[in-house]
Structure 1
Amino acid sequence: MSSQQRLYEIDALRGLSLLGIILMNILVFSFPYEESLLSDVVHGTDAILLHGITLLIIGSFYPIFTFLFGFGLSIMYDNCHMKGINYYPIIFRRLIFLMLMGVLHGFFVFSGDILFGYAFTGLIAVLFIKSKAKRLIKAAIILFILKILLLVIPFAVFSLINDPYTQHNFSGVSLSKLIEIKQQGLYTDFLKINALENLYNVLDVVTGSAYFEFLPYILLGIAAQKLKLVKKIQLRKQSAIKWGILCLIIGYIVKMPFALDFSNSAYQNINIVGGPIVATGYILIFIAMYQSTRIAHLLKVFTYPGKLSLSVYLTQSIVLSLIFLGIGGGLYNQLPLYQSYIIALLIYCLQLVGCYYYLKHFKMGPFEWLWRKITYLK
């Protein structure tokens, strides 16, 4: 298998992860998902939908995107090494610019930004870019175990001892006021809340998430590229599918309590463990299925947004803001959840079509073009 073919599979997986991301983010954009006691506000068809989304999507797609970010860091290192170019000035410029993009996106558009977290953690990960794959895998496993011991178990126990159905609102305003501002308020009113929430997000990244939520998967992505994971899966497709199914079974079992009781914060902490296991299953099965020419022809559609991932991700936030916030359609907390998901799927489908035609005329998206200019200074 050529490197070009392997790149198609990674692009397609990245495109699929962007679908998962919009299916997660639509919850925060469309109603007070994080601030509400969900069992009180989600009922009937919407509740059934949220049970399924929680099991299949929540916490299971950001690890894929993070893994692919590490994969990309390693590809760039190999490219620089082959061309005799000093890797570190290039990658530091690339990551610092991405961090700036994340700050702007997080403060002015969406406080749930992931770009800052990726960039900050990437600055740590590149220090280990020359490490052997086995060492990177061991480090990732150790960090994952530490996360369970230091964060998941203590917080889950604390929630169970106290009240697992207590919701936290970091915006500093009442729930009714929050809904009013996002639904009808001026952009300046929204900005005050969003900036405060994003400040919490940035502090969370710097003090904890970078090391336990992002770094393990970035290191695994680097290791996977070094080990030529795609080629190995091509040679052992059936084995990859079996391991993938096993990961899905284990991951779904771990995630099931939160999927059934999505208001329980203790189960939410446990979900943090199940999500990456499910993500591993998705990665193995997706790449293995891509080896079938017939299936690859269908999955190729995901390569189009995958090649423009930064532009697609940022566009999703901008469009969802214009639809749901008061500065645009003002549909925040107005629609049944299933209708919000129809909107999310329509947006993604339009992005698929738009990316397909865009790539017929351009090699990279507008944000990718700017990112490349800053990275290589040319």
Structure 2
Amino acid sequence: MEAVERIQTVDLVRGMALLGILMMNIPLFGYLESGMAAVVKDPGSRDYFAFAAVGTAFEGTMRALFSMLFGAGMVLFATNKPESIDGPSVAEYYYRRLVLLVLFGMLDAYILHWRGDILFMYGLMGMLLYPFRKLKANWLLGVAFACLLIGLYKNEGWQSNMREARAGYLQAVKLEKSGKKPSEKQLEQKANWERIEGRTKPDPKADAKALKEMRGNYASVFRHILPENAGSEVWYVYHGAWDMLVMMFLGMALLQLGFFSNKLSSNTYKTIVLIGYGIGLPISWFYVQHTAQMYLNPGLAVDTYRISPNALYDLRRGLLALGHASLLMLVYRSQLVPWLMRALTAVGQMAFTNYLTHSIVCALFFNGYGLGYYGKLAYYQLYYVVFTVWVFQLIISPIWLRYFRFGPFEWLWRSLTYWTPQPMRRAVKQEMAVA
């Protein structure tokens, strides 16, 4: 019974995280980033409300939970499977599974045209977890903390470079106004800062080009996103790996401590909710205000903060993620909405399929070879699309799992991992009789 409970709650939290991720991803699916300055310019608008509400309560937190559960899931895979005497080892299955995930990530990015794919990076980062699978929870927490410190160091280095570019820009402008020639380094810093500022300002020609290409045919969309996908994957391997590893190692530790298996007391979960929201939400509001200021006036934002609010990014999203998961555990225990809990569990059980479905549905809705809505919706209207997808997946996932053991992409991933087709259909009558 305990194993079933654990699996249910892991899938439950994964289902919430999977649906929540779409809230974060939807602007990248269908909105020009250059329009964000207009979104945050009017605090009384519906666009700003959507930006502030989603950013404060959820930005980064659902991906944090997804990363935690990925780490926990890879431990379960590596430790629950017995070694075979004459077949492939557990390690071989483990790494085969992750190589396939990398390939699925490339399919998601380049074939399904999703510019924010995480499967590629999860496959790579997951390869680092195997040697730590038997480590005790306190050591895993220590490793997570070390990754956090490395991420903070790299983030502060990035912030320092931005401050230097800003200072060089101001000095160069001052010298030019006085008729003097700036040094080559100052000119380089000036150009660097102008590129930073340029990313926050509308560029009518670039916007028109992006709209034309994203509303074009399949080849047009592919050409448009190819440089971004290739560049982001390289960037994340070097810069973005640490925030994933922090949460993956944390998830491995929390699995041992019983957090995701619903083994903690209700008072413990309530305490985590209070701490997570009590500390996380104020930090998150501060972070969102800084983000808005970076869109409106990046120079003022850099001049105002000696230490970037981004330094608190992993702390705030970790606290809020644990707060969200703890609240969900308490709702699950209360049995207030059992139908929703069952639906979320089914969504989590089919998380791989549902994640790729986001890419397929949004590509067909926003891109030109589909309905062509890219750049046509107001920012707040993007969340109507999110809600529609949520309803669809909450309804379809339980129905699908009534007749099949896995989601279609889970079945494909599993079959390729074991190099043999896995049983897909449920023996409904037999299972009903056993029940």
TM-score w.r.t. length of structure 2: 0.79
For residues 128 and 264 of structure 2, the distance between their equivalents in structure 1, rounded to whole angstroms, comes to: 33
The change in CA–CA distance for 1:23 and 1:40 in structure 2 (over 3 A counts) is closer
2:103 to 72, 75, 100: 100
1:352 aligns with 394
Cα deviation for residue 346 of structure 1 reads 0.6
SS of 1:337's equivalent in the other structure is coil
Q: Which runs of 5+ in 1 are unaligned?
A: none
Query: Which structure has the larger Rg?
Result: 2
| C-alpha contact (below 8 Å) 2:39/2:51 kept by paired residues | no
Deviation (angstroms), 1:370: 0.7
Structure 2 residues without counterparts, runs of 5 or longer: 167-192, 295-300, 302-307, 421-435
Which amino acid letter does the alignment assign opposite residue 30 of structure 1? G
- AA aligned opposite 1:114: I
Q: CA deviation at 1:75?
A: 1.0
Cα distance, 1:337 vs structure 2: 2.1
**Residue 247 (1) aligns with residue 276 (2):** yes
Distance 1:367 1:243 in 2: 34
Alignment of 1:1-378 (within 5 A): 2-33=2-33, 35-39=34-38, 43=42, 44-81=45-82, 86-108=89-111, 109-151=113-155, 153-159=156-162, 162=166, 166=197, 168=199, 174-182=206-214, 184-210=215-241, 212-230=242-260, 234-265=263-294, 269-270=310-311, 272-273=313-314, 274-296=316-338, 298-378=340-420
Is 2:11–2:348's contact at 8 Å kept on the other side of the alignment? yes
Q: Structure 2 CA distance, aligned partners of 1:60 and 1:167?
A: 29
The question of whether the paired residues in 1 share the 8 Å contact of 2:216 and 2:368 is answered with yes
Q: Counterpart of 1:371 in structure 2: which amino acid?
A: W
Listed one character per residue, the Cα deviations across residues 298-341 of structure 1 (whole Å, up to 9, x for unaligned) are 42220111111111000111111111111111111111222221
Displacement after TM superposition at 1:227 (Å):
2.8
Offset of 1:37 from its aligned partner? 4.3
Q: CA deviation at 1:150?
A: 2.6
8 A contact 2:101–2:119 mirrored in 1 = yes
What is the aligned residue count?
371
Whether the 8 Å contact between 1:80 and 1:86 is mirrored in structure 2 is no
- Root-mean-square deviation (CA, aligned residues, Å) is 2.5
Q: Give the fraction of aligned pairs with identical amino acids, expressed as a percent.
A: 26
SS at match of 1:262: helix
CA distance in 1, matches of 2:325, 2:346: 18
Q: Aligned AA for 2:140?
A: L
Deviation at 1:168, TM superposition (A): 3.8
Note the C-alpha offset of 1:176: 2.6
State the Cα distance separating 1:295 from its structure 2 match.
4.7
Over 3 Å counting, the alpha-carbon distance change for 1:208 and 1:65 in structure 2 is: same
Are the structure 2 counterparts of residues 46 and 36 from structure 1 closer, same or farther at C-alpha, using a change threshold of 3 Å? closer
Deviation string for 1:119-144 (max 9, x for gaps)? 10000111211222211110101211
What amino acid sits opposite 1:198 in the alignment? N
C-alpha displacement at 1:235, in angstroms? 4.0
Q: Deviations over 1:200-250 (max 9, x none)?
A: 12102322322x12111111222222333345x544211221122212221
